[in-house]
Structure 1
């Protein structure tokens, strides 16, 4: 498991929890033919508050993904943002963080002199 630091593994576990957790409810909403968007904004102030909270966090995280991927030389960072539209940001953001950690670990091992 080359370049998998403990922090990268933690991010990967969070990504999997985000994928399973969100898609369990997505499948439930689809099978019950629920108005997904309507529920997000019309189910009361608490749901609307959480929706806005997560939406702003996802926008900020998406900007971070694109900027950080470019800064450290990760190719195709924008794909994490696009893919979050069909999976879940709760999956893609920790997945990006895991891949970022691996990338940084790889870069640091490449720059260290070999004995």
Structure 2
């Protein structure tokens, strides 16, 4: 069962957890302080707006990658990572997808490798 978990998959999982904890720490802080989350996000000056556009473009490109790559590898419900990013954070769902993608790739490598050999 754990043979599909490569070191790279664990790195991606660690990044997913860091993304979840890091973003939700500030989300909870914003909720507790009754902040206007969207207003703070887009009205805090050109630097924040630049970062917002930067991250938004990356999130859109990453979402496209998730859907296309999940289909290519035969991963079920790839679209769910995109939906979950709206409920959690893309900093969580993208590395989580990469971890699951690495597992799918490792499973393919193990299926292709002849019996008794180690895939390279």
TM-score, normalised relative to structure 1:
0.97
Give the aligned partner of residue 56 of structure 2.
Answer: 55
Q: How many residues end up aligned between the 2 structures?
A: 115
Q: How far did residue 2 of structure 1 move?
A: 2.3
* Structure 2 spans left out of the alignment, 5+ residues: none
1:25-51 CA-partner distances (Å, limit 9, x unpaired) = 000001111111111110111111111
Q: CA RMSD in A?
A: 0.7
User: Residues of 1 paired with 2:86 and 2:112: CA distance?
Assistant: 36
* Structure 1 spans left out of the alignment, 5+ residues: none
Give the aligned partner of residue 65 of structure 1.
Answer: 66
Give the aligned partner of residue 39 of structure 1.
Answer: 40
Q: How far did residue 112 of structure 1 move?
A: 1.6
Give the aligned partner of residue 110 of structure 1.
Answer: 111
User: Residues of 1 paired with 2:81 and 2:3: CA distance?
Assistant: 22
Which aligned runs of 4 or more in structure 1 are off by greater than 6 angstroms? none
User: Residues of 1 paired with 2:4 and 2:71: CA distance?
Assistant: 20
Give the aligned partner of residue 99 of structure 1.
Answer: 100
